[in-house]
Every structure is written in C-alpha cells, then in structure tokens.
Chain A
Amino acid sequence: MYVAVKGGEAAINNAHRLLADRRRGDRSLPSITIEQVVEQLGLSVDRVMAEASLYDRSLAALAVRQSRGDLIEAIFLLRAYRTTLPRFGSSVPIDTANMTIERRVSATYKDMPGGQLLGPTFDYTHRLLDPSLLTDEEVDVAARRPEGEDAMMRISDILAHEGLIEPDSAPDDGEPAGDLTREPMEFPMNRDLRLQALARGDEGFLLALGYSTQRGYGRNHPFVGEIRIGEVEVELDVPELGFAVSLGTIRITECQMVNQFKGSSKAPPQFTRGYGLVFGQSERKAMSMSLVDRALRAGELGEDVTAPAQDEEFVISHADNVQATGFVEHLKLPHYVDFQAELGLVRKMRADIEKARNESMDNKEAAE
C-alpha cells in the first residue's frame, strides 16, 4: 500500500547535490571527458551499449560518467533515453560474413581460410598489474603487416557443405522478427525473440548460466567454432530514395558455438550450433549468449529439459538487469504502511498465542 508522505524534498535535493559532488571527486584532478571514456574505457562503453540495447558510443560514455562507473545504472540511463526517440525503421539484416575483421579465432580449425587473428585480446597476457600504466608512458603504435589474400569465410559456411553441421535456417525475410520492446513477452517464444532478449541480457547472468551448462547442468559439449570482432555496415531502406543507404558502421562481436549432438527422435546425429551476437567488443558475452542459446534449444532438438539454463521462461524472465535491479532495489523505498500493517499483525498473532497459552494454564490450574 502506498500513501503520500511529504517532507523529503530538501533531503532529496541535497542528496543529489552530494551525489554530483562525489561524482566530481577531488577538484584538484582534471575531470574526465566523454572522449576519454570512449577511447580509454571502451569496453565499459561497449557493455553499456549492448545491455541498454542502444548503439551510441558517446551517449553510453556519458551514461558511464553520469553513473560514476556503475554500469547497470548507466544501462538504465541509456534505456530511459531510448524511450524518448521515435523509430525510423529497421535495418537491412547486417551481413557478418562481410564485416571487417579485428579479431577472429577458431578453436575447431587451426588452418581456416584467412587464418587466426588474435586482435586486441587480453588472452595470453600474464594478468600482472602493469606499473607502467601508473604513469603516462608513451605507448608504441600497433605493428602492421600486409593483409592476407584469403576472404574471412564464416566457419558455418566452411562446414556447411559436409552436412555434418546444422545449417542456418532458410532465411525467411517475409515474417517480421518479433520485437520485445513492442510486444509483451509470452512463453514459449521463438528463437528470434530469445536472441533479442539474450543480446540485451546481463553479461554476468548469462556467463553464470553458460558456465552451469559446462559444469553439467544441461551439458551440450561446446566448441568455439568461431569468434569474430569487427565492424559491419548498417543499411536502411529509405523509401524516399528507393534503395538502401549505408548509415555507417558499428562494431560487433559474433560467436558461433559448435555443439556435439548425439541425435534424438527429432534430429540426426550432427553438430548443432548456438549463436551469439553482441554490440561492441565483448566475446565473454557473445560466448555466454551462444551457450545459453544452444541450451534453450533443448525442446526444439528433442533433448530433456532438466537444467536452469534450458528453462526458457526462467532464463528470459531474469536476464534483463534493468528489470531485475528495478524490482530488487524497489525494496529500499518506503514501505512504512506495509510494514506497520505487518507489525500489527505479528503483535496480534503473538498476543493470541500468549492468551491461548495463559488460558490453557488457567484451565490446568483449575483442574488441579
């Protein structure tokens, strides 16, 4: 139950003023610029864009700064901003086969056409704190080498002709894809909607669920077929022009997980696939997403649904960290009247028990 309570206005104003003060921190230090956040904390920016489901590096950096680096708060800010804008339309589906490649690795094929490009990765670093970053030391420019001749084929295209791996579904561009920002969620849902929910889902939640499948809760024997990070063109059909125009490029991470599958009554023995696609550079998220995508296909592939990661309603209903934080954090808001009512109830119950006990004692004494 909610009732109007007054008296917090001055406190709230001063709390916000204090927040602004703490956000600025020590005034003898220069304040951080949006460009610095974009350039030097780029992976935080990417995470905010991915989970806010809004690609805009500058606005995401603004949100990171405004939230003092609290990324879920930043995601919330960016989600709120997007609700203020009209939608111009939907892009032509992006073509990840034709993206520029910054990183591309496969754990299944050593000698895939185009090769293995490590790109700007934390892998193989020693995870030792680097004292050179305590100061503003000059950093070497990146090494360069002439690019290879081979096209960077997608692993799924390389494997497809053998028939041992599940092919992509025939592209059905007629039916508009489900959009959970427009329609309320209903279960069971199709894979397109699930992928939309997973793409904006909390990285930590999906990581934990992906991990749970590896530990045996819905095991699906994954291999990283391919991870690729790079930039892809976004095109929009503009009716006024009568053709699709490029709007520019966005950075994305794609993960093709290849899963061993012994077959079921619904599908022959073959490798099946889980798919991850995320805004920005985030292979942890893309890998987790592809593990969970595969786990959620249990029903479709005729597997037993036994583990949390295979439970569509459980996974999709709890993946959104803005919804989750809203409901968890609302507990701190005033519930004075609810609590008073509960307090009265507990007092009454205790009094009733006390009374019953006294009466039974009285009866006992009387009997004696």
Chain B
Amino acid sequence: MESARPIEPQAAQALQQPQTGEGRRRAASLLARATRLELEKAWALLPKQPAVKPVRGPETGLVMVRGRIGGGGTPFNLGEATVTRATIMLDSGTAGHAHALGTDREKARLAAIFDALSQEADSHAFVERELLGPVAARIATEDKVKAEEAAATRVDFFTMVRGDN
C-alpha cells in the first residue's frame, strides 16, 4: 500500500485501542492546530512528565487534499499537503496519536503525548486547562479578528438618487 512502513505487532495493538467520541475528535483537531510553543509550554508545566515510548514516527508524509467538482459534486484530487504524524505509548500503556499539517516532527510527538494524557483520568483536566482550553481560545480569537477584518471590507451598497433637472 501507500502507507509508510509496516507497523510492529505491539504498535498495531496500541493502534487498535477503541477510541471514539466527540471529545477525542475535538482534542485531536485542537492538538493539530496547537503551535509547537504551546505544546512545549504545557509539557514544561506538567507536574510529572511521563515516560514515553515511540510507537510510530514522528514521520512526515503527504495527504492528497480532495475538492469537489463545482464545489459540491464528485471528488477530485486538488493537490497534496505535507502532514506529520506520530504515535506514542505512555508507560501506563495508553497510546496517543497525532496528525498535523506541516513538517514539525517534535510538534507531532508532543501532540501525540498530550493526546494520550488527555485520555487518562489523572491528567485529563490538566491537558484541558493548560493546553486545549487556551488553544481553543486562541483560535476563536484569531478567527473572530479575521472575520471582523473581512467584515470591514464589506460593500454597503446605496443608490444615488438623481435630480430630475
């Protein structure tokens, strides 16, 4: 297949842990958009940094970005984007995954660690408070500023009433 390299049996087991739910999805998407600096800060703040075993990667590859013909029709291949992913396992046995656009391997590794930590009862609140919450707030602020900047360029049409003479 087109996947990078075969995964060791132990890793495959880690990858098959049942992990679903909207919370997990939200965490993954915030971790993908966290900056390396935000991740490093949260790592430094951890009361106890866990022992971490790399399972896969961090490794950089490509994802083919697809669009839709006409915007809503059948998919077509628009072009590729660089993506870096990592899978780690904490010494407690919890696996963490991360995928993010770009080529920053350290960012992917840290994101995978926090993905695992966010699934553990002891560290879930910490990850939410020190990382996911602030990242979500930053993104919301950035999006709001961008939307307001664009809104300032909205055209307010008005009609000129011409005189009869």
Q: What is the size, in residues, of chain B's interface with A at 8 Å between Cβ atoms?
A: 62
Contact check, A245 vs B151: say whether CB atoms are below 8 A apart: no
Contact check, A115 vs B155: say whether CB atoms are below 8 A apart: yes
- B10 interface residue (CB < 8 Å to A): no
- A59 interface residue (CB < 8 Å to B): yes
Contact check, A116 vs B155: say whether CB atoms are below 8 A apart: yes
Q: How far is the CA of A180 from the CA of B64 in the complex (A)?
A: 12
B148 to chain A, nearest CB (A): 4
Residues of B within 8 A of A90 (CB): 63-64, 66, 77
- A91 interface residue (CB < 8 Å to B): yes
- A144 interface residue (CB < 8 Å to B): yes
Contact check, A277 vs B78: say whether CB atoms are below 8 A apart: yes
Q: A-side binding surface: helix, strand, loop or mixed?
A: mixed
Q: Which 5 A-B pairs have the closest CB atoms?
A: A246-B29, A192-B76, A53-B79, A168-B73, A55-B81
- B165 interface residue (CB < 8 Å to A): no
Q: How far is the CA of A246 from the CA of B65 in the complex (A)?
A: 12
Contact check, B143 vs A248: say whether CB atoms are below 8 A apart: no
Interface flags for B115-157 (1: CB within 8 Å of A; 0: not) read: 0000000000000000000000000000111111111111101
Q: How far is the CA of A246 from the CA of B62 in the complex (A)?
A: 14
Residues of A participating in the B interface, judged by any CB pair closer than 8 Å? 49-50, 53-56, 58-59, 82, 85-94, 96-97, 100-103, 110-111, 115-119, 142-148, 154, 156-157, 168-173, 175, 177-181, 191-193, 195-196, 199-200, 233-234, 236, 238, 240-250, 252, 254, 256, 273, 275, 277, 279
Q: B-side binding surface: helix, strand, loop or mixed?
A: mixed
Q: How far is the CA of A173 from the CA of B67 in the complex (A)?
A: 11
Q: How far is the CA of A50 from the CA of B153 in the complex (A)?
A: 26
Task: List B residues 75-102 near A (Cβ within 8 Å).
Answer: 75-83, 85, 87, 97, 99-102
Contact check, A148 vs B155: say whether CB atoms are below 8 A apart: no
